[in-house]
Structure 1
């Protein structure tokens, strides 16, 4: 049997694979599937679970992969993501790595297919099904949580200010509790300027702890500036798919419950 990734590529089961993950959230997922001993490379942004990844060699970043180091490691499989990794780099890697597994979750429930894809390819089917069951339990609890519609601006950067658009995994997560984000142009992660009209249209502003390291001090200062509620939120819980999404659903429920 073969298994199909996000761009339609077919993969056979490879229980003895030598895996490099270029996606932080997928690195965490692979470790939670019991595959840490087979991970032979990761990015410097792959920081969870800390104890497991400490022993895995770094091969650069998500965008600036050290191709020479990757060649020396000689993986059989490299796991990438449509949003996180640049296509020219992935195309270059494909010249010397036999199998490139492409991932692209766009909404919370896409995690179920992601768990099963990686579980099937790397012979961790039981572990993947256990994660699916945990996800479904948290998802059912989330569906039963109260929904208070909010129009929120989810900020990921400042100088320049940047937010997420409606066509993002983060927006899909927030939509699970009835929170919507404005569309500030065609970009998925648009730059924007604060304006009276924008501020009036919002119920609250969310400052993410990643990729920009917003703090409570930023939130307090911006709240004074805008005269609107500003909340610091855990960016990993809202933007990391993979096994982190199980905890992310619980975090969403806590946001919904206030």
Structure 2
């Protein structure tokens, strides 16, 4: 019997290594596969798109904000992997009646590596977990060397239109913006993803770059044009939202992506 504490401080007792996993978070599903746990995954969300073939080999149990409790019960999971931001407290509480729900809470690279280390402990994949932590740390240090001479630039990172919403503070996107030497002009605005008025953008920070994320909203040229009308001199860039918001093993690819992004915008 083992006792482990998740990133919300909840104590979980495991009599044996969990063999039947349901993942409620796309990036964590990808991580579980990369840790060698694909065979143990029995359920995923409709948004779990990496690896792409999982949608045809695993049961889908709904989305991240709305799950099918009956489907989850039928799958008889030993553990459910959730996240504080992605999944609601009500979902976690209800699912806890079925089996342990391990909740992650990711703001920083350190939080991310702790999650991977925890998964290594839970699923007896310590060596695989350490390999991914080492890869991430190497890629991170390499990127810090790459970015050190690139000056800080102000940026606004848009995640939604109608209404327009941006990344604020207390989220992983803001951390990756910081690592990329982008000063988030909405970092001090109340809320993790505040709604903003375009006409106030210049007064609230006048960004050098407007970053339009590929997810969760599919921004198009007309949005770039509309936003551009209210930014003084900002360069508008469409960016890969997965690279800026997915934690887990995706970070290794993200740091390579960031290098290419900076090479293009210099």
CA distance in 1, matches of 2:160, 2:138: 33
What residue is the counterpart of 2:246 in the other structure?
240
Summarize the alignment of residues 187-198 of structure 1 with structure 2, pairs less than 5 Å apart. Answer: 187-195=191-199, 197-198=202-203
Deviation string 1:54-92 (CA, Å, 9 cap, x unpaired) is 301000110110011111111010000000001011101
> After alignment, is 116-125 or 77-86 more displaced?
116-125
What residue is the counterpart of 2:224 in the other structure?
219
Q: CA deviation at 1:244?
A: 0.8
**Root mean square deviation, CA, Å:** 1.9
CA distance in 1, matches of 2:142, 2:109: 14
2:179 is aligned with 1:176: yes
Aligned pair count?
257
Instruction: Report which structure shows greater RCO (CA 8 Å, sep ≥6).
Output: 1
CA distance in 2, matches of 1:254, 1:130: 24
> After alignment, is 9-18 or 80-89 more displaced?
9-18
Q: Is the 8 A contact 2:210 2:234 kept in 1?
A: yes
What residue is the counterpart of 1:252 in the other structure?
258
Q: Is the 8 A contact 1:177 1:253 kept in 2?
A: no
The TM-score normalised by the length of structure 1 is: 0.92
Unaligned runs of 5+ in 1: none
Q: CA deviation at 1:15?
A: 3.2
Q: Is the 8 A contact 1:13 1:123 kept in 2?
A: no
CA distance in 1, matches of 2:106, 2:47: 19
2:54 is aligned with 1:52: yes
The TM-score normalised by the length of structure 2 is: 0.90
Distance 1:210 1:253, change over 3 A: same
Given the alignment, which residue of 62, 65, 68 partners 1:66? 68
